[in-house]
Amino acid sequence: MAKQDISNEQENNGRKVNKKWWHIPFLLLLCAGTIYVIRTNNTTGNSTSGMHESAAIGEAWNDADIQKCSGSVFGTEYHITYQNGGDIHNELKEVMADVDNSLSPFNKESVITAINNGNNVEADSMFTEVFDMAKNVAEETQGAFDITVAPLVNAWGFGFKNKIDVSKEKIDSIRKYVGFEKVHMENGKVIKEDKNIMLDCSAIAKGYGVDAVGRYLEKKKIRNYMVEIGGEIRVKGCNPEGRLWKVGISKPIDDSLNVNSEIQEVLMVSDIAIATSGNYRNFYIKDNKKYAHTIDPRTGYPVQHSILSSTVVAPTCALADAYATSFMVVGLDEAKKILARHKELQAYFIYTDSKGKMATWCTKDLEDNLMKYSQKRN
């Protein structure tokens, strides 16, 4: 959901507060599954204490070359800003439609739906690329990332089929259909050990969609752009002011309705992709117990680790998307080990420490890109 010149009211300690957002142009507030593109003028209320403008890395765009488009796709919203002499929104919608027709389990005509239904269908190039990437991440994370997790995600009520009344026995019975080693591709077709195995690429498909749009823009010789789909981002070159793009990492607040947002940190980036995963937006409570949407494929149950939010910076958004989810599954200590092996990845974690307080950890190279942000209220 994009917001411009925002002034909204919210409850704070029992009284209404007029909450006006920042006067920092092109600040992207990255939440788990949500992003706010904010362009505001100078306001009262919240302060940008401690923030500074980045140095120019390119020329400011001409007003006539600033192209913006937004809409709905993959069950979420997208916002794209790019520098070009003409509007190519319809072309970009076609690219996103191609991704949806390949990878969306909610699309009854998609390639992945046909595979899940056991149809004799040949995978397209998009599905094949994502399948190979998912297999590699599954191996690197020792099964913490696994697109065969679909039956478990569905069982817990976070997938594309109806939720069931879970029990230990039912989860154990479903787990025999989960495991990337149970599927492979042969002559362009997915071979499953059991017909009940189902695939769900949701933890990588949005990021891949972002990459597909970004690659199309680059094919059109567009050098400066920002693509955001449902909170996953890819940026290239400079923003319309000729400066680095600013991406704000949201503070994790339990908020399934997505009405509360506070910035934890701000990244200044270019030529990179970013994805965030967290359990504070997508969850439900039953019998006074919270069930989060991140399912551990190895156990069959929602994760209970200390990480509240996992933000990953990577060369591609698909990789950032997959590893952000993986780190939510493996937990802080194992995530650090994976990052030590993959220097192409950077990460920022918000977690609960041993005393129950919120703490942060980030990779060394990412630390230089952080700007501290403190949000003040009237």
Residue-wise pLDDT for 28-44, tens only, equals: 434 333 334 333 323 33
Supply the Cα-derived Rg of the chain in whole angstroms: 21
Rounded Cα distance between 271 and 278, Å, is: 24
- pLDDT tens digits for 115-138? 999 999 999 999 999 999 999 999
pLDDT of residue 301: 81
CA distance 97 to 216: 13
The model's pTM is 0.80
- pLDDT class for 168, splitting at 50, 70, 90? confident
Q: How far apart are CA 230 and CA 321, in angstroms?
A: 11
The average confidence (pLDDT) of the chain is: 79
What is the rounded average pLDDT of the residues 283-303?
Answer: 59
Query: pLDDT grade, residue 75 (50/70/90)?
Result: confident
Please give the pLDDT value at position 315.
97
Share above pLDDT 70 across residues of the chain, in percent, rounded to a whole number: 74
Asked if pLDDT for residue 339 goes beyond 60, the answer is yes
Give the separation between CA 282 and CA 294, rounded to whole angstroms: 9
Q: What CA–CA distance (Å, rounded) separates 352 from 359?
A: 6
Q: Within 10 A of 6 (CB to CB), how many other CB atoms are there? A: 15
**Residue 196 pLDDT greater than 50, yes or no:** yes
Q: What is the mean pLDDT of residues 319-347?
A: 95
Q: How many angstroms separate the Cα of 260 from the Cα of each of 31, 202, 254, 308?
A: 10, 24, 9, 16
Which range is most confident: 53-57, 202-206, 317-321?
Answer: 317-321
